[in-house]
Structure 1
Amino acid sequence: MTQTPAAPHSRLEDIQGLLTGCLFVALGICMFREAAPFTGGTTGIAFLAHYFFHLSLGAVLFIINLPFYIFGWQKLGHAFTVKTFVAVGLLSIYVELLPQWIAFSHLDPVFAALMAGLLVGTGILILIRHGASLGGVTIMAVYLQKTRGWRAGHVQMVIDACILMTAFALTDAHKALLSLLGAFALNLVIAVNHRADRYYGA
């Protein structure tokens, strides 16, 4: 049976995808702040700087991704890099604004870690389907998949595991396990749903 060619997303659809995906990720990060001190990817690195050097989380998120934009521009194309730049900028703004818009009077730590992982994973999935990412290690993972055939999800998982190992060295076992639970939920969403052969549209 002949497969119908995938219809690309319109510019308006891409805009709503970036706005929505980044908002999901930012809400997940707010919940991570309440329950688990660490997560994976460049967000995890930004958390380290935020907690231990008392730097603005949004600003650190934006700055640590700058070298990856150059790499992405050269290796993965201009459209992907521009969308990623916009996505990281939006996320940086959201994570600074959301604490002014939402607060949690009661939030179970286990639920928060699990829900945060699901929200971040869903947000990242939305961004991937609109040809964007949140920069950093995701850019490297996508590049290695394109050039060496390594599945991006597996590469991301290995990098996240390395970052999260610091949780056991820098915090108590309970919070470290909550961080791992959140990372597991995040990667599960992407692993189950990120299948190019099941998704039509770009």
Structure 2
Amino acid sequence: MAAMGLYLLEQADAVTGGTAGLALLLTHATPLSFAALFLLVNVPFFALALWRKGWKFTLKTIVCVGIVSGFTVICEMYFPVPDMHAVFGVVAGNVLVGMALLAVFRHGASLGGFNILALIAQEQFKMRAGYVQMSLDVTVVLLALTVIAPQGVLLSAFGAVIMNIILAFNHRPGRYRA
């Protein structure tokens, strides 16, 4: 789900928040693919995850990041999107990523980077993960002004808000206790 959402965002020439958004942003400035950049951007956060969240969480996160990277390559190969409207790509992409993040968080992992910071802030400082994520995402979206037209950045910001609203309203401490 996350890979398809990120692929739609890439095809819409948009960014989102988090390390995924940072990787999408860097595709404009480097010859590397999104899949490679997503893996590279997340490497430093794996050390943070190991330190604060433990081996189990870190290994699940590494697997999730690897799967998302791999599936974005598969989406590129088998799901060409020749004439997608940018608004659809941004909205659908961010909804898919937001829902995927909820599922991944629910199962004790993350999609790396800023997600790790947001989960640590929620657990240790009682800050809502969605709000922490949104504040970090604003930074990434603003950086997009350096490589994307202002209307594309505005659309990207709208999409990032959608994704973060999904997280803020649905990922709360104690929500998943049986």
Equivalent residue, structure 2, for 1:127: 104
Matches within 5 A, 1:140-155: 140-155=117-132
Cα shift readout 1:108-163 (whole Å, capped 9, x = no counterpart): 21122111110000111110011110111111121122222222211111000011
Equivalent residue, structure 1, for 2:69: 92
Local SS of the residue matching 2:28: helix
Q: When the two structures are superposed, what TM-score results if normalisation uses the length of structure 2? A: 0.93
Report the Cα distance in structure 2 between the residues aligned to 1:86 and 1:92, rounded to whole angstroms.
10
Report the Cα distance in structure 2 between the residues aligned to 1:75 and 1:196, rounded to whole angstroms.
17
**Unaligned 5+ residue runs, structure 2?**
none
Are residues 137 and 110 of structure 1, via their aligned partners in 2, closer, same or farther at CA, if it must alter by over 3 Å? same
Report the Cα distance in structure 2 between the residues aligned to 1:151 and 1:196, rounded to whole angstroms.
8
CA contact (8 A) 1:122 1:189 kept: yes
Q: What is the aligned-residue identity percentage?
A: 35
Aligned partner letter, 2:68: L
Aligned partner letter, 1:193: N
Matches within 5 A, 1:1-202: 24-200=1-177
**Unaligned 5+ residue runs, structure 1?**
1-23
Residue 196 (structure 1) shift: 4.1
Aligned-pair Cα RMSD in Å: 1.5
Local SS of the residue matching 1:52: coil
Residue 198 (structure 1) shift: 3.7
Are residues 190 and 75 of structure 1, via their aligned partners in 2, closer, same or farther at CA, if it must alter by over 3 Å? same
Report the Cα distance in structure 1 between the residues aligned to 2:54 and 2:16, rounded to whole angstroms.
28
CA contact (8 A) 2:26 2:37 kept: yes
Aligned partner letter, 1:155: V
> Which structure is larger by alpha-carbon Rg, 1 or 2?
1
Aligned partner letter, 1:56: S
Local SS of the residue matching 1:53: coil
CA contact (8 A) 2:94 2:162 kept: yes
Cα shift readout 1:54-93 (whole Å, capped 9, x = no counterpart): 1121111112211211111111111111100100011111
Cα shift readout 1:9-41 (whole Å, capped 9, x = no counterpart): xxxxxxxxxxxxxxx111011111122431110
